[in-house]
Amino acid sequence: MLDNPGESMHNAIMSHAWRVQILGNVCFVRAYAKINLTLDVKGRRADGYHELATVMQTVDLHDTLCLTSTGDGRVEIVCTRPELGNEENLAARAARLLRERFSISQGVLIELRKRIPVAAGLGGGSSDAAAVLLALQQWWRLPLSLSELQALAATLGSDVSFFLTGGLALCEGRGERVTPLAALWPQSMRWLLLLKPAISIATARVFQALPASDYSDGSASRDLVEALHEGRLPRPENFHNGLERGVLEHYPGVARAKADLLQAGASLVRLSGSGPTLYAPFPNLSSATRAQEHLQALGYEIYLAHAVYLDGEERNV
């Protein structure tokens, strides 16, 4: 049913060269957002994390990072969101990790044009970190094996490994075990509206508040992968997010936004990650733009996007 994970991830990483543009001492790279088509929380682990099964897909909403060589031996980050321009930014941590691993003295200035909403359930910080790992691996010609790159990514965050490949993938464990899937995106879901309510939600807080009654056995993720593999449109119940019930209950603004999306014509609305961003698929551009304009008039932050596969070109499937 699933592609060979080792071969698929290797090919995906090798093909990421197109995302990286090197112009002398400057390097540009894109970092794409993701949505969770499913998020099965299977239980709490002994290490305090939760065991997950989640199907994720990259979308064409992206941050842009510009890396510039410097001679001061420092990693510095400047961001269009000033509060993110600090040493704890995952992109800066990724650069420091590679410099320390290979004893590189060259400094790096990271300029981050932030478009992916922050603390939104879209994986922006993790994607930025993965983009830096991929860019510096190519730019500095680092002799990193696939397993070494995965191991480094996992130390930065649970979703960073997924963003090394992007596309459609089943992620397990804390999210760091990635099985890339073929490009099986349903045509009737080719346009996506991403609606970010005007709040931020801390992922850790959502998981801490999650009752055992919201745990699942991972069957929703398995069923969705099976449906896509067989060319069937998954059933609405296959798009299961074990965190959604609690988020809708504790954050009325998210529940209200979901109702407004449905009222605007969406047939399916689901939470991405721990939220608060909601996504809704649309079968054609006209219906998606009508809904987008209606929701923008209500004051919502909303993005029109499509699935993207990072195999040498942005493919809208």
Among the options 34, 114, 196, 258, which is catalytic?
34
Neighbours of 211 (CB within 10 A): 8
Residue 101's nearest CA partner among 150, 148, 162 is 148
Please state, in angstroms and as integers, the Cα–Cα distance from residue 175 to each residue in 152, 153, 179, 273, 279, following that order.
14, 11, 10, 11, 20
Q: Say how far apart CA 149 and CA 137 lie, in whole Å.
A: 9
Would you call 42 a catalytic residue per the annotation?
A: no
Evaluate the CA torsion angle 276, 248, 162, 211 in order and state its sign.
Answer: positive
Residue 37's nearest CA partner among 176, 179, 227, 238 is 238
Residue 121's nearest CA partner among 64, 179, 194 is 194
Query: 59 forms bridges with which residues in the sheet?
Result: 33, 307
Give the CA-trace dihedral at 125, 126, 129, 134, to 10 degrees. -140
Among the options 40, 63, 128, 159, which is catalytic?
159
Three-state secondary-structure class, residue 284: coil
Neighbours of 102 (CB within 10 A): 12
- At residue 278, φ and ψ (nearest 5 deg) are -110, 150
Question: Is the distance from CB of 129 to CB of 153 less than 8 angstroms?
Answer: yes
Q: Known catalytic residues?
A: 34, 159
